[in-house]
Structure 1
Amino acid sequence: MGGGAAFRQIGEAIEHWLEAERAQLPLWLPIALGGGITAWFLLPDAPRWIGFLLASGAIALLGLALPGRLGRSLLIGGLAMALGCGLIWWRAESVAAPVLARPAVVEMTGRVVRVERLPAREIVRVTLLPGRSDLPPRVRVNLPIKDVPAGLARDSVVKLRARLMPPAEASVPGGYDFARSAWFTGLGATGKGFTPIEVVTPAKASGADLRASLSAHIQARVAGSAGGIASALATGDQGAIATDDVEAMQRSGLAHLLSVSGLHVTAVTAAAMLLILKLLALSPTLALRWRLPLVAAGGGALAAIGYTWLTGAEVPTIRSCVAALLVLLALSLGREAITLRLVAAGAVIVLLLWPEALAGASFQLSFAAVTAIVALHESPRMERWFGKREEGRLAKLGRELGSLLLTGVAVELALMPIGMFHFHQAGLYGALANIVAIPLTTFVIMPLEALALLLDTVGLGAPAWWLTDQALELLLWIARTTAAAPGAVAALPTMPAGAFALMMAGGLWLALWRTRARWAGAAPLAIGLAWMLATPAPDLIVTGDGRHLAIRMPDGSMALLRDRAGDYTRDMLAETGGSDAEPVALSDQPGARCSLDACLIEHRAGDRVWRVAATRSPYVLPWAEFTALCRSVDVMISDRRLPAGCTPRWLKLDRPALAKTGGVAIAFRSGRVTMVRGVGKHPWLNPPKVQPPYVPEQPNVAVRTRNRWR
């Protein structure tokens, strides 16, 4: 009896709590849906996915048996989790398409489905449909901008030669998994095109041509990165922004301004509504007979849809457009426009249409930011602090600035774990930079640019373009100054998935509940934060192809095996190692002994010295000396197959081994080895493959018999 009474008391306490939180319960529907999607990504194979579906069904059945809100919550939550898991499983299977088996040089003729011009990189990125059974149905190639012929546009047919490669998986643990993203877009190969490039059938005029023409028009009026930002705001085309300025925007926390999202769609929608409302209000007849706010809302909806189409209809833009339409619908029905329920409804719509978006940084960042803003301003304490009241202009301005600063801090705190997890770094001054940058972009740059485009129709846009240029240069100055400030970016090594999950769960618990029970979310948040900070930075990072490695130096910087590693590789290895310092060359370090063919270095971790050796050329080394080297080191690394006689004391990472593990990160002190590849059987890990006929070339085998590494 005592035990039964205790269970009844617990049940009554939970029921009482859920009754107090009844207005917040619908907010957990997208969380449950996302939980099912997340489980599918994390669980390795079909038996586990089926097990999760059965477990979710059991939770739903338990909810069906229990009375009250607890039972209904378990029923809906269990069904939503099962739906999320089943939906992403179906989605992954429905988009299945062959992937290129291995690199190949091919000649192909295909229809162009997308053209992305990247002037800052002097390339044009073209996605086309080759229409060949021995090639993937969709491939993407980069073409030198100087070699692109006239007439190359969407729906044109082109003929060219290209070197294609399969979509690359993450090179290192915690890196960007392009193979997964490419799977859901049907992309089976990427590469570089060569001349001659022939347009077999020119394209007809289309919206894509309008977008490209508008971008070119803007960039002709405003030069450099400022013009690139201007075209990004109008069409979503970021290709003309210099790499250094893109990095500055990222480090300063202003990169969200470059991606057409909620801020831009909201500005366009609000401007359209205001313009329509003011124009129609000029007529007393219309003002008396029509519901002008409803008409303006309809005009704003059309503006949001048109802007989304013009900017390429990417998933983040569609997501923002859906949210804007929901806001307009709420206004039309006389409901409160911006609420957490609206955010939840937008998240459900996106997850139902594109469940794979949950795994991307874009979805997580945008919804985390919006949730933080709305949850903060829905709290009674914010209303007491920053609500409207009778006061002087100076006090009102100070209160508004305080609200903006607090909102910026909340957004930065909400985004920091996501930035750390995906990019291994987070800006520290973003809240301060955004206080100026967001109003500057929303109320100065975008209206000036719209005015300039309007005046260009009668040839009078030059003064407005000059003002736009000056405002954009101010925005770039803010980004560059903030990015260059000491300690502007906090860099950490790859965050464990478990720590990220705890921080997200704790943050959502704090944001979505309203009673005192919400403070229980502080525990998982603190545990996740402590786990993240306690995770040791890797001492050695090896890419999946074995060509590149980075090893930590005593000063915390990362030393690279190959002196001529590209900027992308250098940045990736430094970020994975949690270092914000510029990587250095291993061959220049005092403790390293390097030749043209190999490098040897000793690394001290705790009370032990680890010896690491790696090859860095394709040439064969003398057998006796090479096998002796292998036996004398703890770790041996190579981008080719090493002979069986090469037996290091601890770990051998050659081509066959890395083919099984993918990229590897090692913390010597703890002996922790993290690998890219696990035991998963997701479809992009072992996709159907195609390969064009191979034309053998004259072999060119070089053998070098000298050894200079000693």
Structure 2
Amino acid sequence: MATDSLLEEDGTAPDAIGERPGLFVRSFAWLVGRLAAERERWALWSPVGVGGGVALYFALPLEPPLWLGPGVAGGAILLLWALRRRLGAVVTVVALLAVALGFAVAQTRTALVAAPILTRDLGPTTVTGRVLSVERQPAGARMILGGLTIDRLKPEATPGRVRLRLPAKFKPPEAGTVIRVRAMLHPPAPPAEPGAFDFQRRAFFQGFGAVGFVLGTPEVVDAPPVSGWDAVSVAFDRARAVIAERVQRAIPDPVEASVTAALLNGEEVAIPEPMMDAFRNSGLAHLLSISGLHVGIAAGIVFWVVRALLALVPWIALRWPIKKIAAAFGIVSALAYTMLVGAPVPTVRSVLSTGLIMAAVILDRSPISMRLVAFAAIVTIVMEPEGMLGPSFQMSFAAVAALIAAFEAINPTLARWRQALGWVGGRLLDLGTIAFTSVVATLATTPYSLFHFQQVAFYGVLSNMVAIPVTSVWVMPCSLLVYLLMPFGLEEPALIAMNWGDRLVIWTAEFTAGLPGATAFIPAMPTAGIVAVSLGGLWLLIWTGRWRLLGLLPILWGMATPLFAHRPDVLVSGDGAVMAVRGTDGHLILSGKTEGHVAETWQRRDGHIEAPGVWPDAGVTLDGRMRCDVLGCVYAVDGRTIALLRAPDALVEDCVLADVVITATPARGCRAPLVIDRWRLRREGAQALYVSRSGVRVESVRDVRGDRPWTRTR
């Protein structure tokens, strides 16, 4: 039955359903009525369907056949034609088609970027390749090489790209040159624990199949110059190097210089870690990541300046569409700015949104609308489906969609207030609008900050009320002046002026980050929690009626999930070098080194930032639950005994007495009920153990990721 047949003209359920319909019938009729009343918003769910298909693809434990996504999409199109006269069926099939298209896009993207990935440590070895990009860091540089030849690797096993760290004692080579260098290579690291950030997947989609570090001075090799699109990319990379050099020459303070350079060339990695922590803890880290704010401000300034200059010439202003010309200049400036800062993923999404806004101006359409956000989301997902899983995509679109929905709701009220208030009242209203914008954006992005970083900055609204106006009114205009003057070598006064604004932003970050209770860390949010928050948020933002408030229920449930999440009782790294057990106070106690990526990830996902405790060399600890000697430790909890070995000599005894044996060495012949040894760790990656009186549940990285093209074991 078509959906329309269930409704009267006013969108309500007809009496023909029954004199006393049951609860289910009444609920269904109410739901159909609400959906029919908001049919103009149905199209806004299309990117949700496409994104759902992408999420479904990445959630699978095995790689599906390549025909699956396109096949289902084709079948949905045929079904759509067959059922075109039935509205309810059409809506259902369109939703299926959107999911199938998202699934097919993700499959296609994976097939296109697939390249060899290193499966074992290699080196020292000689690597020859062209320098595609160089990122300057406080302790040296990081460069990406392509067109590789690697000793002891066959051509069919050679990665397409590698990323190498270059110590500060070596001068970074110029982008575009071909170099030969001795290096140690490693496979991209898998997640530090099940559910943690998957660097291996990101490396796969970014095209590099190995990482490592340089052992000697790079040797420049004679080779033909770079050509094609690579030549353009190299030219912009060289421009970024020139910008960094000019900034360091004009600004003596290295920290201030690194922040200024980051805003000009996008090299955020050059900022010292203490300063990055201040920006993160103050809620201002987004100012250092070239994204929508910067691209929008830059394009907006160019739009305003070009329009004002053209308006000064009456002959042009009266005959030419100066507003549309200015919008075209805004698009060009956004594209140039994106290329100059290295075209990172957030900036590409931002320039797309900015370009759509300017295009709407050219076409005489409303430049700010939820439909624009939906279109930008679909295009972005199609361009880089894997980016949908990252914090940048999620936080940027959450903030933009929330702001548009919020201003859709309050714009009539703001318009009345603005008419009633005088000049002073209008300026106060502008300040209030800035505060409102910061609050909405902070609320919209907080769930994703908690999910990806386990962190929330409580003074983010305060710091953004200071830093965003300074960035918009002072820093970004000065940065555009720097770009204009730099080709002539006259940029130093503009750089110094820009740095004055940067100093205020830095002071704001340090001040708010130093306030009591500036940040809080919570345990990692389960995937189900962020899915519930996202679906509830979409329901709240897309619909316009009061029933949109139903979206608050899944949001509240999802936000509460970290409070009830059960963190592992025992953790083992993928190589077995680091192990941890949970103490009586709920904190982790590590087997040795408390620094490094693995330990930091475990602590952060636990909701802690302080240094963890360390196992004793010998003796009893944890209120008698753990006893150690030179051969290892035995951890007893909930009636289960877990042996964590330091040396293989303890295998014979522990394999008889323990319920679980964990060792970084092979444990052939061990008859303990559960054995985690070198071979299991190599097959499955890092392990998380949950201990209860009913038994020990084990979850591995492989259990969560499955066997996919980007998953590699040693």
TM-score scaled to structure 1, two decimals?
A: 0.87
Distance 2:511 2:612 in 1: 23
Partner of 2:10: none
Note if contact 1:125-1:143 (Cα within 8 Å) is conserved in structure 2. Answer: yes
Partner of 1:366: 396
Structure 1 position 629, deviation (Å): 4.2
Letter in 2 for 1:576: R
Partner of 1:707: none
SS of 1:105's partner is strand
Distance 1:584 1:463, change over 3 A: farther
Structure 1 position 609, deviation (Å): 6.2
Note if contact 1:504-1:525 (Cα within 8 Å) is conserved in structure 2. Answer: yes
Q: 2:238 aligns with which of 206, 209, 229?
A: 209
Q: Does structure 1 residue 286 correspond to structure 2 residue 326? A: no
Q: Give 5+ residue unaligned stretches, structure 1.
A: 690-710
Partner of 1:666: 689
SS of 1:99's partner is coil
Distance 2:297 2:189 in 1: 37
Note if contact 2:633-2:645 (Cα within 8 Å) is conserved in structure 1. Answer: no
Q: How does 1:106-145 map to 2 (within 5 A)?
A: 107-131=125-149, 132-145=155-168
After superposition, the CA RMSD in angstroms is: 3.2
Distance 1:538 1:511, change over 3 A: same
Q: Does structure 1 residue 445 correspond to structure 2 residue 462? A: no
Highest relative contact order (Cα 8 Å, sep 6+), 1 or 2?
Answer: 1
Note if contact 2:263-2:288 (Cα within 8 Å) is conserved in structure 1. Answer: yes
Letter in 1 for 2:211: T
Q: How does 1:350-499 map to 2 (within 5 A)?
A: 350-380=380-410, 383-384=413-414, 388-452=418-482, 454=484, 461-499=491-529
Note if contact 1:107-1:159 (Cα within 8 Å) is conserved in structure 2. Answer: no
Q: Give 5+ residue unaligned stretches, structure 2.
A: 1-15, 150-154, 227-233
Distance 1:240 1:185, change over 3 A: closer
Stretch of structure 1 that moved more, 411-420 or 448-457: 448-457
Q: How does 1:36-115 map to 2 (within 5 A)?
A: 36-46=53-63, 61=79, 65=83, 69-105=87-123, 107-115=125-133
Letter in 2 for 1:111: G
Q: 2:352 aligns with which of 322, 328, 338?
A: 322
SS of 1:18's partner is helix
Partner of 1:654: 677
Structure 1 position 308, deviation (Å): 1.1
Partner of 2:667: 642
Letter in 2 for 1:570: A
Distance 1:586 1:408, change over 3 A: farther
Partner of 1:692: none
Distance 2:488 2:206 in 1: 41
Distance 1:195 1:306, change over 3 A: same
Structure 1 position 59, deviation (Å): 7.3
Distance 2:674 2:405 in 1: 50
Distance 1:672 1:379, change over 3 A: farther
Q: Does structure 1 residue 300 correspond to structure 2 residue 333? A: no
Distance 1:53 1:452 in 2: 49
SS of 1:195's partner is coil
Distance 2:318 2:18 in 1: 69
Q: Deviations over 1:272-294 (max 9, x none)?
A: 11121222222222222222111
Partner of 1:681: 707
TM-score scaled to structure 2, two decimals?
A: 0.86
Q: Does structure 1 residue 584 correspond to structure 2 residue 613? A: yes
Stretch of structure 1 that moved more, 402-411 or 670-679: 670-679
Q: Deviations over 1:322-369 (max 9, x none)?
A: 111110111122221111111111111111221221122211111111
Distance 1:2 1:26 in 2: 29
Letter in 2 for 1:364: Q
Q: How does 1:546-625 map to 2 (within 5 A)?
A: 546-563=576-593, 565-587=594-616, 590-591=621-622, 594=628, 597-600=630-633, 602=635, 608=638, 611-616=641-646, 620=647, 623=649
Partner of 2:230: none
Note if contact 2:163-2:212 (Cα within 8 Å) is conserved in structure 1. Answer: yes
Structure 1 position 174, deviation (Å): 2.4
Distance 1:81 1:611 in 2: 47
Note if contact 1:550-1:561 (Cα within 8 Å) is conserved in structure 2. Answer: yes
Distance 1:16 1:227 in 2: 59
Q: Deviations over 1:356-404 (max 9, x none)?
A: 2112221111111111111111114774588532313443333333332
Distance 1:207 1:594 in 2: 57
Stretch of structure 1 that moved more, 58-67 or 466-475: 58-67
Note if contact 1:99-1:136 (Cα within 8 Å) is conserved in structure 2. Answer: yes
Partner of 1:32: 49
Distance 2:333 2:521 in 1: 40
Partner of 1:700: none
Partner of 2:12: none
Partner of 1:161: 182
Note if contact 2:192-2:602 (Cα within 8 Å) is conserved in structure 1. Answer: no
Note if contact 2:573-2:598 (Cα within 8 Å) is conserved in structure 1. Answer: no
Note if contact 2:634-2:644 (Cα within 8 Å) is conserved in structure 1. Answer: no
Distance 1:628 1:385, change over 3 A: farther
Q: Does structure 1 residue 514 correspond to structure 2 residue 535? A: no
Note if contact 2:183-2:213 (Cα within 8 Å) is conserved in structure 1. Answer: yes
Partner of 1:19: 36
Note if contact 1:57-1:78 (Cα within 8 Å) is conserved in structure 2. Answer: no
Structure 1 position 459, deviation (Å): 6.1
Structure 1 position 585, deviation (Å): 2.6
SS of 1:206's partner is helix
Distance 1:292 1:655, change over 3 A: same
SS of 1:480's partner is helix
Structure 1 position 452, deviation (Å): 4.6
Letter in 2 for 1:25: W
SS of 1:146's partner is coil
Stretch of structure 1 that moved more, 300-309 or 490-499: 490-499
